Structure 1
Amino acid sequence: MIFKTIRSTLTVFNSLAIAGLCAAVLAFSIFTHEDLYREAVTGDLDGLSNNLSVDLFAVLAEEGDDLDTVAIRTLLLRLGEYENVKFAVVFDRDFNQIDTYRGPTLQVEGELEIVVDTEQLNQIPLGMSNKNGELFAYKIVGDEELPFGYLLIVNDLEKPLTGSKMHLLTRVLPLTFIIIGIGIALSLWLNSRMLLPLQKLARLAHQIKETNDYSIDINVEGKKEVVDLSNEIGSMMDTIHEEEIKNKRYTQQLMQQRKDMERLANFDSLTGLPNRQFFMETLRKSLSTAEREGDNLVLMYFDLDGFKGVNDTYGHEVGDKLLIEASKRTQRFLRHGDLIARLGGDEFLILLYNDPNDFVVTDISERIIKEISKPFDINDWEILISASIGIARAKDAQFNLSDFVSNADVAMYKSKVEGKNTHTIFVPEMMEDNKRKLLLANKIIPGLKDGEFSLYYQPKVNPYEEIVGFEALLRWNSPEFGFVSPVEFISIAEQSGKINEITYWVLESVLRDSATLIEHFGSKLSISLNLSVHDLRNPKLFEDIVRLYKELDIDARCIEYEVTESTYLENFDMANEFFGKIKDLGSFIALDDFGTGYSSLSYLTQIELHTLKIDKQFVDNLGVSKRSTLVTKTIIEMAKQLNLNICAEGVETREQTDFLIANGCHQLQGYLFGKPAPLKAILNTFTKR
């Protein structure tokens, strides 16, 4: 009786013990699985948000008033591959929402507005966090010290985690019930000989719990029931071990993806060089170290002259290969430890350590310039470009990161102004010039509105010295800066993106003045105005011309558009298309500064011109240089054979006039016949026809 009671007690106890053991192993497996799942999802979302914030940086960092919302929306649509993302929001640097993304769980009928105010954002820490079953990725777009915006991604953690645990339970739970059933059956046959194997199983279970090693071989000898129980537990451990291996493999994949994303975040995908973000962070640390140790650093800022023309002429594939080859050539001349990075487009930065002297810096710069100027053989094309380099020292910028880069940029611009294909070392005086340029750039639009700009007209005469046309010339008289030369403010307007506003103002003013000029000088008068390369690239300009012609009732035959020879040929296809439309309207095209930059004349057979203008440098040398005189004669004769109207600029003497008329020049323009003057002065000075 006592034996039966003990046996019954042992049976119940053993059954409960087995059930408890299985439950403990199952619970521990679930907890382990949950932890691994959380880590995997967090790591995956962290890498995804880092990669997305880097891509958003390229959009938010672009200059201009209008953001490319299409590009931002395209980037956010990548989240469509992640079914557990609830929503994402992109903010600008002032925490204003730019765009949002709604995940599948929020896609309901009708519009659902996602609004995250500043108070809610302040409750979310930067980086990765989770709360109330949601995982938050809150990242800065750009540098922490100079953010361009912020990215918030909210991921549903609880629902997929529950599903994952249920998936694990559906696989393990049936096996657990089987083991418990076997344990209860075996407990009926428990005796003193069976208690020892069970104790071994208990010790093994404890060992598994302590070591988290589910690969331990469970092989306990005993009766058949004990052996079966041992095998079933071993089978369950194998299942758990397989799941653990899968999770580890998945974690390793996520870690590798994270490494790949970090590389994409820090290195340029085209050239393999460090990108702007990585370089700027390295530069910041290097400046701090150099300032602390009393050392100096040298920064070289350079870009490729004529690169845009390569892209426009040969296509972006050739342009990309050109950038790769140019970066390889540049690296040959850097010292061990120096750092080169691609800033973006065709711009590169080089950081020279150990305070190199002027001789070393000059030697490196000249080697790079010489190597870049050699022909590039790309896709069977021989490409010729050059490099303009700006050089700055950290001490001149007081080790300030922004000033350091700005100084190098200013010096590089100086190299371009001085003819490109050269290098310039920054000196503080350059910053004053740069400040003046910035001030002038900011005054252009207000100056147009406040009447600071005006048009001067210079007459053109025929061989009988009768006025047959005028060229409109822009002048700027600023209350703050006084008279500003067109040579200065036109280039500043082009660089600051304000040339289109100036061109429109000139176009409208000339067309309004044309009625008065034509009334005074006759209906056959021709009025010309100048266009720049930026105007040729402005798709809206032709629409403005058509609209103004119609609004002001302009006779298109009285308007002539002048463009320099170099501008036309550097943008040949674009210029041909634009001036083809102008010709269809009835207006005329004049090629200015002819003969000053190109030796091949074959292009004259491919474009339809009305007027060829002989540059002043040829006119100045008439009768002085036999070679210039011969060239001028040749140009006039060639133009006559091509049936072109010929206009000579810069005529200042009677000798020049007599020579040009004798050789068949149709129009003359210069101080001899009249200096540029305002419209009112023109009307008062010259006799009405």
Structure 2
Amino acid sequence: MLFRTIKSTTTMLTVVAISLVCAAVVVFSIEEYERLYLETTSSDLDGLSENMANDLVSLIALEPDVFEVTTTLLRLDRYENVKFAVVYDNEWQRINLYFGPLFDPYDFEEDVQLSELQNREFGVSVKDGELIALKLVGDTRLPLGYLLIVNDSVGPLNKSKLTLLKRVLPLVLLVLFIAIVGSLMIQRKLFLPLSRLSRLAQKISQTHDYSLRIDIRGKQEVAELSRDINSMMETISSETEKNSEYTQQLKEQQKTMERLANFDSLTGLPNRQFFMETLRIELAKAKRDKRNLALMYFDLDGFKGINDSFGHEIGDLLLLDVCQRTKTFLREGDLISRLGGDEFLILLHNDPDDIMLFEISERIVNGLSKPFEIQSWEMQIGVSIGIARASDSHFNVSEFISNADIAMYRSKMAGRSTHTVFVPDMMEDNKRRLLVANSISSGIKNDEFTVHYQAKVAPDETVVGYEALIRWHSEQLGFVSPAEFIPIAEQSGKILSITKWVIQQICEELNQLLGLHEGSVVLSVNLSAHDINNASLVDYIRAMFEKYKVDTSCIEFEVTESAYLENFDVANQFLNQIRDMGCSIALDDFGAGYSSLGYLTQIHLNTLKIDKQFVDNLNVSKRSTLVTKTIIEMAKQLNLHICAEGVETREQADFLIANGCHQLQGYLFSKPMSLQDILAS
């Protein structure tokens, strides 16, 4: 605690230093006083002994006069510090002895050693605190005797030093006190600016107010320190403000990051991560409380076509309207989340019963089927909903969502704008779908696929072309219908492998097929939406044509209108490259998808194929018959070849021929056949 502060430390060091200096002065003075005292006393004793030795010459020259010698020695009574004195003759025989007030017999025996005295030099010396004066009586050539005087130096010296201290010490203490008080006052004045700095630092520490400043006072070093501290405080204040602003920005960014991490940036709905975490918690609670949960999985039918046709900005606005409209159909407590694209999940509150599930699903289906108006454009979409219950998935998150996805897929297969509740039997269908998807690659590798050709005939029923149709006889699954494995291949990303295999197969078999006919025959090959979105397929087709030296005028590629319009610009670019090779383009299933009339003026086609659903209703539905006539007439005006597919009766054929249809295709004329069967027929 004593050395805790600079002030207390310097104060203590100053006091100690002054005290040490004063003590050193006193000690030095006493030592000097002791030296001077001994010199003076030795000088006095030397003079006294010299005088007495001279006086003793006459007394012991002939016959020693003891009385006179005694009288002479008694002159030492005036000197209180003399311990004893001895007069010896020239043979060192003691003539007389004098005892002073300080005489000590023990000291006498110690001090008077004749052998030592005989070897001692004449004069005054100091030994063991005593002044010893040894003088020769007479001349050195004719010594008469010797005089020894022993004087006490310690006692008188101590008394003298004590007297000196009594006189000097008060003055020294006064000087010491004045010096200490003066130094403390000087230190206080010097440390006052530092004390102010300390108080300022304490105040800043308590208030965190970095705008405080200190007056610039004190010596140059302290003033410079004050200026530096004020400058530092200005910097700290400035940096504090910046840090405060930066901290605020970080907090806002943190909120934004949390929102981005948990909510969809476009719609503001909870995103997949947030929804999945919430779903895990709710499933755990439901399982613990023995409750059930209901989940809806839905996506929008026809959204991709709108997004590609009108642009992503319009598509985003449509998604926002879909979200807002969907929220109005839900109950309080229902949680809706956007998974991405046009896919959404809804966690329904309080386990609604079947009637409530039906009502909510119907509200969503009917509500989203109504037209949307986006920037003066009127758009219509559908929605396919899959519904699942947690108990069917054993409260497992992945299975729960997978069940809803399977039910949603069922809704899509059943048609647009519908909803389906998951039942365990659907799992078997899903397992078959997975088995089919996993078997496609091995099926291609093991030559389980074959190409069948269905003839196209002119009005006079001569064969003018074929459509290449793929068939699959799986070693594990048996016969798998194209209606089953083609959609699965598209969803699993394996349709491109199938398309490449078909193109290579028809290139190998084309010459044999053409050899059966004298006139020109065109072979049609189907492309899916996934195919025309893959730019590398064009290079593969070109390579196959070059490898097998294919006459490209004999090849026609068929694209469904839905596939074409799903990504109009990409499809146009793809098919333009196909057309540049010399191939023709046919639009398949016309009228079964989007409203295609506006696009017919923007795309370059060679053939328009009338969908089977119109052919089936000829002479059955006046409306369908009228639409079919209109399609044929419109195609004529656009200089397109017209091919009707699915012709199964003579009445249908006669009607189509009568109305100017160029080509007919259907079971009435020929079923799909393998090349071997065609060659054998």
- Output the TM-score relative to the length of structure 2: 0.66
Looking at structure 1, the residues matched to 16 and 482 of structure 2 have their Cα atoms a distance apart, in angstroms, of: 99
User: What's 1:267 paired with?
Assistant: 263
Looking at structure 1, the residues matched to 461 and 198 of structure 2 have their Cα atoms a distance apart, in angstroms, of: 117
8 A contact 1:341–1:350 mirrored in 2? yes
User: What's 1:680 paired with?
Assistant: 676
Change (3 A) 1:631 1:479: same
Looking at structure 2, the residues matched to 675 and 384 of structure 1 have their Cα atoms a distance apart, in angstroms, of: 38
| Residue of structure 1 aligned with 2:379, choices 375, 383, 397 | 383
Q: Deviations over 1:65-105 (max 9, x none)?
A: xxxxxxxxxxxxxxxxxxxxxxxxxxxxxxxxxxxxxxxxx
2:519 is aligned with 1:526: no
Letter in 2 for 1:482: G
Matches within 5 A, 1:63-102: none
Q: After the TM superposition, which of the residue ranges 676-685 and 274-283 deviates more from structure 2?
A: 274-283
2:433 is aligned with 1:432: no
| Residue of structure 1 aligned with 2:272, choices 272, 276, 295 | 276
User: What's 2:99 paired with?
Assistant: none
Looking at structure 2, the residues matched to 635 and 216 of structure 1 have their Cα atoms a distance apart, in angstroms, of: 84
| Residue of structure 2 aligned with 1:501, choices 497, 513, 516 | 497
User: What's 2:89 paired with?
Assistant: none
Matches within 5 A, 1:115-514: 190=185, 204=199, 235=230, 238=233, 242=237, 245-246=240-241, 247=243, 250-514=246-510
Change (3 A) 1:653 1:308: closer
2:1 is aligned with 1:10: no
* TM-aligned CA deviation for residue 463 of structure 1: 3.6
Letter in 2 for 1:511: C
Looking at structure 2, the residues matched to 653 and 334 of structure 1 have their Cα atoms a distance apart, in angstroms, of: 50
User: What's 2:118 paired with?
Assistant: none
8 A contact 2:272–2:337 mirrored in 1? yes
* TM-aligned CA deviation for residue 205 of structure 1: 8.3
Change (3 A) 1:607 1:190: same
SS at match of 1:472: strand
Unaligned runs of 5+ in 1: 1-5, 17-185
8 A contact 1:414–1:424 mirrored in 2? yes
Looking at structure 1, the residues matched to 324 and 8 of structure 2 have their Cα atoms a distance apart, in angstroms, of: 84
Change (3 A) 1:601 1:15: farther
8 A contact 1:415–1:422 mirrored in 2? yes
Looking at structure 1, the residues matched to 594 and 406 of structure 2 have their Cα atoms a distance apart, in angstroms, of: 30
Change (3 A) 1:12 1:662: same
Q: Deviations over 1:151-186 (max 9, x none)?
A: xxxxxxxxxxxxxxxxxxxxxxxxxxxxxxxxxxx9
Looking at structure 2, the residues matched to 192 and 649 of structure 1 have their Cα atoms a distance apart, in angstroms, of: 113
Q: Deviations over 1:309-336 (max 9, x none)?
A: 1221111111111122211222223322
Please tell me the root mean square deviation across aligned C-alpha atoms, in Å.
3.9
8 A contact 1:334–1:364 mirrored in 2? yes
User: What's 1:585 paired with?
Assistant: 581
Which of 1 and 2 has greater Rg?
A: 2
SS at match of 1:671: coil
Q: Deviations over 1:398-453 (max 9, x none)?
A: 11111111111111222111112122221111222111111111111221111111
* TM-aligned CA deviation for residue 485 of structure 1: 0.7
User: What's 2:644 paired with?
Assistant: 648
User: What's 1:173 paired with?
Assistant: none
SS at match of 2:264: coil
8 A contact 1:530–1:562 mirrored in 2? yes
SS at match of 1:589: strand
Looking at structure 2, the residues matched to 521 and 404 of structure 1 have their Cα atoms a distance apart, in angstroms, of: 57
Looking at structure 2, the residues matched to 267 and 280 of structure 1 have their Cα atoms a distance apart, in angstroms, of: 12
Change (3 A) 1:218 1:362: same
8 A contact 1:214–1:241 mirrored in 2? no
Letter in 2 for 1:667: Q
Q: Deviations over 1:186-240 (max 9, x none)?
A: 99673597599699769848966996967697999x9999997997798489458
Change (3 A) 1:425 1:240: same
* TM-aligned CA deviation for residue 666 of structure 1: 3.5
Change (3 A) 1:332 1:478: same
* TM-aligned CA deviation for residue 250 of structure 1: 4.3
* TM-aligned CA deviation for residue 467 of structure 1: 2.5
What is the aligned length?
510
8 A contact 2:535–2:574 mirrored in 1? no
User: What's 2:546 paired with?
Assistant: 550
SS at match of 2:515: helix
Change (3 A) 1:624 1:294: closer
Looking at structure 2, the residues matched to 14 and 279 of structure 1 have their Cα atoms a distance apart, in angstroms, of: 77
8 A contact 2:408–2:419 mirrored in 1? yes
User: What's 1:612 paired with?
Assistant: 608
Looking at structure 1, the residues matched to 557 and 218 of structure 2 have their Cα atoms a distance apart, in angstroms, of: 106
Change (3 A) 1:305 1:462: closer
* TM-aligned CA deviation for residue 604 of structure 1: 4.1
* TM-aligned CA deviation for residue 675 of structure 1: 1.8
Change (3 A) 1:270 1:188: farther
Change (3 A) 1:620 1:271: closer
8 A contact 1:11–1:190 mirrored in 2? no
Change (3 A) 1:15 1:405: farther
Letter in 2 for 1:521: H
Change (3 A) 1:621 1:340: closer
Looking at structure 2, the residues matched to 415 and 335 of structure 1 have their Cα atoms a distance apart, in angstroms, of: 23
Looking at structure 2, the residues matched to 391 and 362 of structure 1 have their Cα atoms a distance apart, in angstroms, of: 10
8 A contact 1:14–1:187 mirrored in 2? no
2:533 is aligned with 1:537: yes
* TM-aligned CA deviation for residue 9 of structure 1: 6.2
Change (3 A) 1:434 1:260: same
* TM-aligned CA deviation for residue 679 of structure 1: 0.6
8 A contact 1:616–1:650 mirrored in 2? yes
SS at match of 2:391: helix
Looking at structure 2, the residues matched to 510 and 484 of structure 1 have their Cα atoms a distance apart, in angstroms, of: 21
Q: Deviations over 1:650-678 (max 9, x none)?
A: 33444444454455443333333322111
Identity of aligned residues (%): 58
Q: After the TM superposition, which of the residue ranges 467-476 and 356-365 deviates more from structure 2?
A: 356-365
Unaligned runs of 5+ in 2: 1-6, 18-180
Change (3 A) 1:12 1:235: farther
Letter in 2 for 1:364: I
- Output the TM-score relative to the length of structure 1: 0.65
